[in-house]
Chain A
Amino acid sequence: MAGPLDQFIITNTVPLQVAGYDISFTNSAGAMLATLVVIMIFMIGGMRKKALVPGRWQSGVEMCYEFIAKMVGDTAGVDGRKYFPFIFTLFMFILAANLIGMVPWLHPFTFTSHIAVTFAMAFFVFIGVTLIGFATHGFKFLGFFVPHGAPWYLMLILVPIEIISYLSRPISLSVRLFANMVAGHTMLQVFGGFVVSLGALGGVLAAGSVLPFAFIVALTGLELLVACLQAYVFAILTCLYLNDALHMH
């Protein structure tokens, strides 16, 4: 039987090498492509009528849009509107990836459970936000690391702390999503394993496999919540970082 972490194994479906770099189309890339296709179907299908009074599907698309638009407006302000398409893409991408990863039986791959993917996204956000900060404020952006009104001897401690906390942003951002996904999927796998093991024992113990199964049902609900929540958290933290870059403190 597969171990609880085997679900995260990358399998090369189409091996590919360009200039010595391995860019094989893996099951992870397949999941990304599926995510892309699902989002495109969701949006094109939802907006095909462009109805004045929306149906359920169109309402769903509009709700996603307005939810993120409101979040960007509230946290990053008017200047942040420019970056709305990116935040919206980020949110939809992570949300769809997390939710597709929760579909039972198909046993899809959840690429947000890979630190390489989440860190790449977080690092991209971090670099982008830092560049926006310098582009907006020039070298004054370095003042972001200097807390207002602190005496000079405290600065010696506070400035390094501020810099470290700023540099650790991509790590915390990526690890939060990664760890949540890994933990959820591992737990589901472990309890799924219990169901199978107890069932294999037969007799009265087989009936006992109902308990871990019921737990899986509850856990699936929780994981759906986590899937949405983590996409939201990733998006809102990106907005907050963007706000810091645009307006400093």
Chain B
Amino acid sequence: MPQLDPAVFMPQIFWLFVIFGVLYFFITYSAAPKISDVLKKRQDKIAYDLGEAEALQAKAEAARLAYEKSQEEARHNAAVVVLNKREELKAYADAEYQKLSDGLNAKADEAQSRIDAAKEKALGDVRTVATEVCCDIVSHIAGLKLDKKDVSKAIAKKTETIGKGKS
């Protein structure tokens, strides 16, 4: 085997140490720092991007919560407004109703009193007519001259009893 010839040992070992040494210094001081630098930068970039994404997600979540809260508030406010308005309107309607019904009652009372007055007057007129008719009939038939006052009194008495009997 040519490998076992001692003459080949020395030159190979010498050049091995020289060239391996050069490669070692090249890798230690140039290649490896460059590679680890790139790897670290990439790692940092990924970590930074992930952090950013997380922050943005948190922000979005906060915005969503705020939106939901404001929506809830708005819904609540709307319910309160509707309730208040309904009560207000109910009170207004009640008041209006009261006013209207008072007015109508007053009108009805007035009308009633007018009716009563008219009825009274009409009854009075009927009595006068009845008294005159009565006087005329008596003077015509019996030739008697009756005192109008007595007749009117008698009629009033009679109508009262009739009214009483009827009622």
Residues of A within 8 A of B (CB): 5-6, 8-10, 12, 16, 21-26, 28-29, 32-33, 35-36, 39-40, 43-44, 47, 50-52, 54, 58, 61-62, 65-66, 84-86, 88-89, 92-93, 111, 113-117, 120-121, 178, 182
Contact = CB atoms under 8 A, between A and B. Distances in A.
Given A24-B11, A26-B11, A111-B12, A52 B23 contact: no
A22 B11 contact: yes
B26 A40 contact: yes
Given A32-B19, A65-B32, A8 B2 contact: yes
B20 interface: yes
Interface in B89-132: none
Interface string B38-57: 11011001000000000000
B17 interface: yes
Contact of B34 (A6, A29, A47, A54): A47
B16 interface: yes
Contacts of B10: 21-23
B79 interface: no
B12 A62 contact: no
Nearest to B31: A43
The interface residues of chain A, by DSSP majority, are classed as helix
Contacts, number: 126
Interface of B: 1-5, 7-17, 19-20, 22-24, 26-28, 30-32, 34-39, 41-42, 45
Given A10-B8, A36-B22, 5 more contacts: A10-B12, A29-B19, A32-B20, A178-B3, A182-B3
Nearest to A42: B31
Nearest to A64: B35
A58 B37 CA distance: 13
A113 B12 CA distance: 12
B133 to A, nearest CB: 130
Contact of A23 (B4, B15, B19, B42): B15
For the complex of A and B, the 6 pairs showing the least CB-CB separation, nearest first, are A29-B15, A85-B28, A116-B9, A43-B31, A10-B8, A23-B14
B106 to A, nearest CB: 93
A118 B40 CA distance: 34
Given A8-B1, A8-B3, A120-B17, A89 B23 contact: yes
